Structure 1
Amino acid sequence: MTTWFNETLYPGFRQSHAIKKVLFEGKSKYQKVKLFESGHFGRILTLDGVVQCTESDEYVYHEMLTHLPIMAHGKVQSVLIVGGGDGGILEEVLKHKSVKRVTMVEIDDMVIKVAKKYLPKICGKAFEDKRTNLIVGDGAKWVAETNERYDLIIVDRPDPIGPATVLFSKAFYRNCQRVMKPGAILVAQNGVPHMQGPELTDAVKLFQQIWAHSGTYLAVVPTYVCGFMSLTWASDNDITDVDPRKVFQRFARANLKGLNYYNPELHFGAFALPNFVARLLPAPKKKAAAKRKTR
């Protein structure tokens, strides 16, 4: 008889995966961690009963949270990753030879250990890279106390439950702004708009209180069911106002290998929002007219 994993994140709806073999199951100080072998999606990591990543489609989420802001910025050398214990974001960031230092702050050491042992297809050798500064600790505390400054902050947060709740707070993002260099970019995941619309609205409203520019772009991750995945961004610069020729040039210079989702054409297409998503976004802050400047 087939055993099934049932994710019930959304009331009245579930997705199921056949479990071929459970590879790890445990409870850390913070959450229940489970990793199992499925069918088409390969190995699947879940936290508190919610799918975090799969070997089959992790590249969509990790590539779009990484390469799009790096290409929009153009000169990223220092990166902070908050969360991301599976190592997927870290592995993508380190594909950029221009990046000199990556600090990753993950609160749950169990997730890191599981990823190293069972998810090499996702994290590769990222944890062993000499540019990696791995901190097992509280990301919110880190941004409140560190003296380091970053060109890019990637908040690889799960849903706003349990230990991740603080990663949706105004105090956390005020502290993120504190550690960002001039022109730096912050990106974070904000769930599926079709099912979590208010979460997206609240996030952009919050960002508008802190940064001059903010918004969302979209990607489609099969196991993040119910349509588009929203990835929110914030910066003192408008990252949608970048000369396309520069993005294509940066992409060519980066010489990234083995990408399965991100490309320069998709970079700009990701900012095109369906009407139902656009209506979830608060109106942008009104500003005095200024000379337009592209990066």
Structure 2
Amino acid sequence: MTEWMHERLHDDYAQSLRVDRVLYDSATDHQRLRLFENARFGRVLTLDDVVQTTEADNFIYHEMMAHVPLLAHGAARRVLIIGGGDGGLAREVLRHPGVDHVVMVEIDAGVIEFSRQYLPSLSDGAFDDPRLEVVIDDGAAFMARKGGTFDVILVDSTDPTGPGEVLFTDSFYGHARSRLTEGGVLVTQNGVPFLQGAELAGTMRAFRALFADWGCYLCTIPTYAGGPMALGWATDGVARDTPLNVLQARYAEAGLETDYYTPEVHLAAFALPGYVRRLMP
């Protein structure tokens, strides 16, 4: 009998993926990890039966979360990743030769160990890059402590339930602002606005109170069903105003080859449909 994984993240909407072969099914101290193969998406990682990433479409999320702020900033040397234990975001950040140091703060060491063994294509060697420093810690606690500053901060969180809930609070965003260098950029995972509008609206209210330039940009990821995903954007600088010709030059200089991100998509991603714009406070 064919097995299907049913994701019921929302009360009135669900999606299913056929489970062709289960590769791993266990529980860590924080959450249940499950990995299975699907003919369309390859290896699929779920946490508490919610899809986190797949081999086939992870490039969209990771490219857009990394390259938009890094190329808009143009001179990022220090980058902080909150979450991101699968290594996909670190992979994309470390493709930028100008980045000197990346700190990745992951609450669950089991996710990293699991991903290195079962999803090595996602990190693609990132965990062996000497520029990457992995810290096993609660992301909110790390952010609240006094410490170094960063040119770009990327919050690669789960949805705002369980361990990820604290990463969507005004307090967390305030601490993040204090850890940014002048002109630094904060980018956050903010769900699918069509189904998770309150999540995006809450983050935008906090950003409006804290930052001179705030908003979100969109990308479409098949396994994050329900419409395009929103990535929150916040800065006190002018990175959003970087013109197309400058983005093109920086993209070429970095030697990037991408499957979703382009400088043209970068600019277009900030053009929001009406239903998303109306979520802005």
- Distance in 2, Cα, partners of 1:260 & 1:17: 23
Contact residue 183 and residue 239 of structure 2 kept, 8 A: no
SS of the residue corresponding to residue 99 of structure 1 reads coil
2:268 counterpart of 1:269? yes
- Distance in 2, Cα, partners of 1:146 & 1:32: 32
- Distance in 1, Cα, partners of 2:237 & 2:121: 35
- Distance in 2, Cα, partners of 1:164 & 1:144: 15
Moved more, 171-180 or 55-64: 171-180
- Distance in 2, Cα, partners of 1:53 & 1:120: 13
Deviations 1:6-59 (A, max 9, x none): 101111221111111111111111111111111110001111110000001000
SS of the residue corresponding to residue 260 of structure 1 reads coil
Contact residue 24 and residue 114 of structure 1 kept, 8 A: no
Question: For residue 7 of structure 1, what is the amino acid of its counterpart?
Answer: E
Contact residue 183 and residue 238 of structure 2 kept, 8 A: no
- Distance in 1, Cα, partners of 2:12 & 2:204: 27
| Alignment-derived partner of residue 260 in structure 1 | 259
Question: For residue 53 of structure 2, what is the amino acid of its counterpart?
Answer: C
| Alignment-derived partner of residue 81 in structure 1 | 81
- Distance in 1, Cα, partners of 2:88 & 2:216: 21
Q: CA RMSD in A?
A: 1.0
2:254 counterpart of 1:279? no
Query: TM-score, normalization: structure 1?
Result: 0.93
2:53 counterpart of 1:53? yes
2:39 counterpart of 1:39? yes
Query: How many correspondences in the alignment?
Result: 281
Q: How does 1:169-248 map to 2 (within 5 A)?
A: 169-248=169-248
Deviations 1:132-166 (A, max 9, x none): 00011111111111421100000001100001111
1:104 to partner: Cα distance: 0.1
- Distance in 2, Cα, partners of 1:224 & 1:92: 19
Q: How does 1:1-16 map to 2 (within 5 A)?
A: 1-16=1-16
Work out the percentage of aligned pairs sharing the same amino acid.
Answer: 45
1:243 to partner: Cα distance: 2.2
| Alignment-derived partner of residue 71 in structure 2 | 71
Deviations 1:232-273 (A, max 9, x none): 11000243312222111111111113x110011101010111
SS of the residue corresponding to residue 53 of structure 1 reads strand
- Distance in 1, Cα, partners of 2:32 & 2:44: 14
- Distance in 2, Cα, partners of 1:281 & 1:139: 26
- Distance in 1, Cα, partners of 2:146 & 2:34: 32
1:111 to partner: Cα distance: 0.7
Contact residue 214 and residue 238 of structure 1 kept, 8 A: no
Question: For residue 281 of structure 1, what is the amino acid of its counterpart?
Answer: M
Query: TM-score, normalization: structure 2?
Result: 0.98
| Alignment-derived partner of residue 27 in structure 2 | 27
- Distance in 2, Cα, partners of 1:187 & 1:270: 14
Q: Can you give the 5+ residue segments of structure 2 that lack an aligned partner in the other structure?
A: none
